[in-house]
Amino acid sequence: AAVFNSTYDAETPRLYACEKDIDPRDNYSELALPRQWSWGDAFNGDSDDFQTFGQGEHNGELVFHSFTGQCGSCYAMAGIYVLTKRIEILLRKLYPDIDWDGTRLPSVQDIIECSPFNQGCFGGFPFLVGKHLTELGVATETESPYRMFNGDGVTACSATEMDPTKRWYASSYGYVGGCYECTTELEIMREVYHHGPVAVAIDAPQSLFNYSSGVYDDEPTNHGTTCDIPLSNLNGKHHTFCTTCYTGWEYTNHAISIVGWGEEEIDGVNTKYWICRNTWGSSWGVGGYFKMKRGVNLCGIESQAVYIDPDLTRGIATNMVRLNAK
């Protein structure tokens, strides 16, 4: 019960951009990055991905969850994808010959139904998905498969497997750069290159639904709109340290994942782009992926990149490590 009474006070500095986390692992400023990079996407024909194994997509195709259906679950899908892909990356680094068919993957539905930090099918934040994964963990996809709804709300938790040894956990999470809107294009690239995909939020214009190829560069008409944040009475307290800090969140309405980047010449101009994984199904875009113009914070994509690192010392991961370390 104490866990579900957890407050957001510890998250306030990062959410309000009042205090930056210092993460020594990200001291990669002297290392060069390639012009093209991806952890796997439809543009590069990379099918060697744990996400494609044994996962029935919501429209019937064999792809890891990438179709939200009639549920505002994009935040959960983006966050769970980041965790799952980073589990794959880390395990393959540690055990190149690992024999894992991709079963027992982390559950998106567990986040939708059972998280006290988000709003089920009514939306949420990848950042708070990280909080849930760190504090509570999630059941497996087998235990809690995706159903595109959350019943009567976040209290309708159908996951029955609460045994900590049978759940997936995150070891850490946060905003790339240390706090909300503290990141840069280069910092996102470094994070993706060295650790894996990140979850980001965008203000998705209507035209994005019609994307089929190329580099998307359509700016929403209200880009830059900020949502006011009350600087007092957060969890019943007055946070004086925020009175001179950031005073609003940039409006976003959709969560996706950045898996890589690249460059190409368009009308004689070198154009930089992000390679993004959407949550609208593999029949959308190019196998469910798209390219978005990079370096200009298009649609707010560079405002709130979130990393979620897997924890290999708890839950299911410990058994996998034990079996493969022999």
**Catalytic annotation, residues:** 74, 254, 278
Q: Using CA atoms of 118, 165, 200, 212 in order, give the dihedral in degrees to the nearest 10.
A: -110
Is-contact 294 312, C-beta < 8 A? no
Question: HEC string of 176-188?
Answer: CCCCCCCCCHHHH
Is-contact 248 228, C-beta < 8 A? yes
| Strand-pair partners of 51 | none
Interacting residues of 202 by C-beta distance below 8 A, sequence separation 6+: 252, 253, 254, 255, 256, 292, 298, 299, 300, 301
One-letter amino acid identity for 182? C
Is 223 exposed, middle or buried (CB count within 10 Å of its CB: 0-12, 13-18, 19+)?
Answer: middle
Is-contact 43 53, C-beta < 8 A? no
